[in-house]
Homo-oligomer: A and B are copies of this chain.
Amino acid sequence: MILDKINNPKDLKTLSQEDLNKLAEEIRPLIIKKVNAIGGHMGPNLGIIEATIAMHYVFNSPQDKFVFDVSHQCYTHKILTGRKDGFTNPENYYKYTGYTAPEESPHDIFKVGHTSTSVSLATGLAKSRDLKGEKGNVIALIGDGSLSGGEAFEGFDNAADLGSNIIIIVNDNEMSIAENHGGLYKNLKTLRDTKGKAELNFFKSLGFDYYYVEEGNNIEKLIEAFNKVKDINHPTVVHIRTLKGKGLQIAETHKEAFHWIMPGTLDEKPEKICKIEDYNSITNEYLYKKAQEDKTLIVINPATPGVHGFTPEFREKMGSQYTDVGIAEEHAIAYASALAKDGAKSVLAVMSSFLQRTYDQLSQDLALNKSPITMLVYWGGISGADATHLCTFDIPLISNIPNLVYLAPTCKEEYMKMLTWSVDQNEFPVAIRIPTGELISSGVEDNTDYSQLNKFKIDTKGEKIAIIALGSFFSLGKSVMEELREKMGINATLINPKFITGLDKELLENLKKDHEVVITLEDGLLNGGFGEKIARFYGNSNMKVLNFGGKKEFPDRVPLDELYERYHLKKELIVEDITNCLFEKSSV
């Protein structure tokens, strides 16, 4: 094995062209095997093996600095920079993260997981180099859909002005997560079609020097191109045409499905995938039906159709009533807002983590204009994900902006009632936090009129202790109630607040009569979240308040169970805290 000899990038330098090619073919099955075993980004990594080898062959990391955009394509980079054991030995599959991680290696400069940041970050590194009077290349690798994000453009616009070395490798695999959208991708196509020779050239129009590599999976050609631009003294783009999923037939064919896969995907037969009802399926069934009735209903999504179950069939059926804006979350909010303002029914589907890119658009373009969109927030909650992909911040993000209504359903029936109400109303910008996990049915139709804002629902009336359990944590609240009954003989009150963005002051006031302690449970960050508002409300009273939720931190792949333990999000721990509070010991 060639790979046996490669312990750091220097070991590449002495390899023959033939051995470099062999190395690529040794790395490919390692990636396929590992990704199939534990899940991960298949297509992006298979497409960029050759380019990564060529980069490390030509440039000298870490003196030359690589910035991987979104960084989910860094597997080969990890293999070449002393971390191959995380790929060769299945026991080490979890040893390294799936993203660049400075704590793992000096070859990783930033912790990155959201898209479109690499050019800005690289521009900073280049400027720092210049201020310090140092030498070296700064190389950003961007592509795979990230180009359309606003931050990427701001970066390109400023990098073009740098006046010194910065090399931006545009990895053009003709795809975003799904197919690409937008004018820029048409220009990339024109450039591919003309082998880089078209007069209209987005990058050149911004002032970049420009090189095109047709065979972006050919190490020799890549080395040739990279050698040309190495130590170049001005901003330069190298546009390389790669094949997403290269070397794995099914990934080459089904580029979208094999962008990121679940463990064991390659072992499954297609017919095994059976349809079960989940929050995605009931959402999309409703949306399609509604779209038939109302031709102004439009579903908008920033490049993550898979998250929402917007299959190619669904998208096709929806036709012009579906817009994938590409990786462009800011635009997605403004676009949805304008549609709603003009009387269309816009439904925006977005992942909690990526919604973070839109604070100002939520505030200015949407909330200030009170456009009645329906925003569906997916995956919101505490999780064992990478620090780059946490979905714990959406409640502080959304709920402190005026005019927005953020709803937290606890079951299918509530969710569908909220969704249909939201789509049909014209008063409020509404966000709905779709519960995580399996679909729960209460079996009871929800007749709530949600236009009466901020009405909490008493699920079970008790006394002494009130449990306000938000959204996904309603079932936790229920188990706490049961635990209190069983262990302490207390019949607690259980409340389903439904509304994240406002308090039911009358209900809270009434609790003072026969309750001593209120606890709040939320599946997200405590700081700036839901529970603190309850604590503030009761600040001038004798009511004790205990808030349960996530701590302000970036946990990185910490198992969920461990986080629940850490945050006291288990019924026994909660009951213990309540007991301590009742008997005035220090707690939480």
Contacts and interface: CB of A to CB of B under 8 A. Distances in A.
A525 B393 CA distance: 18
Contact of A154 (B112, B153, B554): B153
Interface string A338-379: 110111101000000000111111011101110000000000
Given A200-B201, A397-B359, A148 B157 contact: yes
A321 interface: yes
A360 B114 contact: yes
A50 interface: no
Interface residues of A, number: 124
Interface string A320-336: 11010110101100111
Interface in A125-183: 125, 127-133, 148-161, 181-183
A338 B128 contact: yes
Contacts of A337: 121, 124
Interface in A526-582: 526-529, 531-533, 535-536, 538-542, 544-547, 552-554, 580-581
Contacts of A528: 396, 399-400, 527-529, 532
Interface in A60-116: 65, 67, 102, 109-114
A387 interface: yes
A535 B546 CA distance: 10
A64 to B, nearest CB: 13
Contacts of A153: 150, 153-154
A203 to B, nearest CB: 9
Nearest to A150: B150
Interface stretch (A204-212, A223-231, A239-247, A411-419): A204-212
Given A149-B150, A207-B186, A539-B545, A121 B399 contact: no
A331 B155 contact: yes
| Of A199, A539, A552, most B-chain CB atoms within 10 Å | A539
B117 A342 contact: no
Contact of A181 (B161, B343, B365, B397): B161
A344 to B, nearest CB: 4
Interface string A187-210: 100000000000111101111100
B539 A296 contact: no
A412 B538 CA distance: 36
A402 interface: yes
Given A132-B343, A207-B183, A525 B334 contact: no
A182 B343 CA distance: 37
B533 A539 contact: no
A532 B526 CA distance: 10
A405 interface: no
A161 B183 contact: yes
A295 interface: yes
A536 B181 CA distance: 46
Given A161-B183, A532-B532, A368 B388 contact: yes
A328 B158 contact: yes
Contacts of A208: 183
A97 B123 CA distance: 39
A305 to B, nearest CB: 16
A73 B250 CA distance: 54
In order of increasing CB-CB distance, the 10 nearest A-B pairs are A150-B150, A124-B338, A160-B183, A183-B206, A120-B334, A528-B528, A154-B331, A400-B528, A539-B545, A153-B153
21 contacts: A121-B334, A121-B335, A123-B338, A125-B338, A131-B295, A132-B296, A150-B153, A151-B331, A157-B183, A157-B184, A158-B183, A158-B335, A187-B205, A200-B200, A200-B201, A202-B206, A356-B360, A367-B554, A396-B400, A532-B535, A540-B545
